[in-house]
Amino acid sequence: MVERYVLSDTVAEDKSSIEGQYSKLEINRETYLERARECAELTIPTLFPPKSFNEATEYKTPFQSIGARGVMNLASKMMLALFPPQAPFFRLSLDDLVYKQIQADPKQKTVLEQGLAKIEKAVMDNLEVSNDRVAIYEALKQLIVSGNVLLRLSETGLRVFSLGNYVIKRDPQGSVLKIIIKEAININTLPKKIASAIMEGKDEEEYKDKDLELYTCILREQNKYTLMQECHKKIILRKEYKLDNLPFIALRFNRVDGMDYGRSMCEAYLGDLKSLEGLTRSILEGSSASAKMLFMVSPSGTTRASSLSKAPNGAIIEGNSGDVSVLQANKFADFRIAFEMMNRIEQRLQYAFLLNAAVQRQAERVTATEVQLVAQELQSSLGGIYGLLTTEFQLPYINAKLAMLKQQKLLPNLPKDMVRPKIIVGLEALGRASDRMRLLQFMSDLAGTLGAETLGQYINVDDAIKKFAIANGLETQGLIKTPEEIQQQQQQQQSQQFAQSLQDPRVLTEAAKSMSNSGQQVDVEVEQQ
């Protein structure tokens, strides 16, 4: 849907304006935002800077790196499980009613399965060429640190909004009722008509190089979502979306019933992060103090401190060795308890952020089995976070992506009488590779038990080849020969063999003899008659 700009007839009051609604809702967000900044200080400070930050703001680097490593590692594993490279993370399945109707027609079933595989490939191709993966990785890091993040899907890719840029209202079941986004926009990017209406009664030169506050409100109604954009209390854009095609995805890490915002992973381990930060700082400062070494000269001795300090290595000076002593803290043994506590905390954090799990091997291409293992690890170790993100992230993302690609006419057409396909995500969707393995195992067991001749007698080779191609996500058009092409090729081979046989003298001699013998037999039969 192409965005169309409209202008409201009246100016909304402060209380009913989107800006006023945002100011009211951001009060409930402040607690979560402060906790997000606290978690960011111990992990990646740039994710949630302080309130009064600018380009010149200096961020304090944590004394420990376990927090940053844990966030990036967990985000990478979640990225691999949710959006694996070179492999579809979702499946399109036939509706149960349609499946029953075509059960008796294998050819139609194969055609529909090939059509669904084409749609899957089109979505994956679009994902690979867009910047969605980069945005998803940044969104997952913010999700781990703050527990909340908002994504917007558009033709240019995904855009990420941190918790400080939006407010949200949910119903008791967790469904989104209202989202309001606050962002900056330059007046020069708006159409002239809209810009003139916004700047009415204002000095345009004052706002020429100044950004304006743009508020975007997504409001849920009975069977749709309504989007409105407001600038200077004037509505400049209206749009409507279906419930399952909303391009805005509000994510939560830990879902809490009855709350508008989620809880983060770092918040659950904030005590360990603080303890590790304090112990690391103390050990670093104590080690620095312990490493300091001073030479002390007795004031009543004959050795002069100035002569000792100025003397080069190997020099001969006058003095008494007893007048000189070395001052050093020698407190390294006292750090043992602190080191042991640090190691325990690090082990707990490594386990929490999956730093000690080496399911994935270091290779350029990750196999489907490795992706499944990572997904199962997330599901078992993080209290079902993988299942939560499949329903609140993957499914809305695929619905919005399919709607956008369909609008752009980038999806292949299914048969007209085809009902809407089902979208399968999660661990079940990652099992397309297992379909291929089961098919291979079946063919191998059948050939090994009954023999290759029996396999060729009872197995439809054409259908088996197509199933292998579908399981591998390959396009069969132009790759696999049609029955007509196979028949034509066989006829050509027979013609070539016959032509070659005519050029062989031995074949001609045998053919003449055969014809001669058949002619004699015919004459005899005629005489007998």
Q: What are the residue boundaries of the structural domains of the chain, listed by start? A: 18-263, 432-480, 484-529
Higher pLDDT, 10 or 302: 302
The region of weakest confidence among 238-247, 357-366, 447-456, 519-528 is 519-528
* 361 residue type, one letter: R
**Residue whose tokens read 């190089």:** 209
CA-wise closest residue to 148 among 158, 134, 159, 160? 160
pLDDT given for residue 5 in this prediction: 47
Report how far residue 77's alpha carbon sits from residue 54's, in angstroms, rounded to the nearest whole number: 32
CA 138 to chain centre: 10
* 281 residue type, one letter: R
Report how far residue 280's alpha carbon sits from residue 285's, in angstroms, rounded to the nearest whole number: 9
The strand pairing partners of 251, in sequence order, are 149
pTM equals 0.74
What are the tens digits of pLDDT across the range 78-132? 888 888 876 777 877 776 666 666 666 667 777 777 778 788 888 888 888 887 8
Mean pLDDT highest for which of 14-18, 218-222, 444-448?
218-222
43-58: average pLDDT: 82
pLDDT over 80 at 396, yes or no: yes
How far, CA to CA in Å, does 198 sit from each of 194, 211, 212, 218, 230? 6, 13, 10, 21, 10
Burial (CB < 10 A; 0-12, 13-18, 19+), residue 172, is exposed
Confidence of residue 186 (pLDDT cuts 50, 70, 90): confident
Report how far residue 75's alpha carbon sits from residue 78's, in angstroms, rounded to the nearest whole number: 5
pLDDT over 50 at 9, yes or no: no
Burial (CB < 10 A; 0-12, 13-18, 19+), residue 434, is middle
Could you give the percent of the chain with pLDDT greater than 70? 73
pLDDT given for residue 141 in this prediction: 96
Strands, E assignment, 244-402: 248-252, 293-297, 324-328
**Count of other CB atoms within 10 angstroms of residue 89:** 24
Confidence of residue 507 (pLDDT cuts 50, 70, 90): low
* 209 residue type, one letter: D
Report how far residue 48's alpha carbon sits from residue 58's, in angstroms, rounded to the nearest whole number: 13
Report how far residue 266's alpha carbon sits from residue 143's, in angstroms, rounded to the nearest whole number: 10
pLDDT over 70 at 517, yes or no: no
Report how far residue 524's alpha carbon sits from residue 137's, in angstroms, rounded to the nearest whole number: 92
pLDDT given for residue 497 in this prediction: 72
Higher pLDDT, 475 or 378: 378
Report how far residue 93's alpha carbon sits from residue 423's, in angstroms, rounded to the nearest whole number: 6
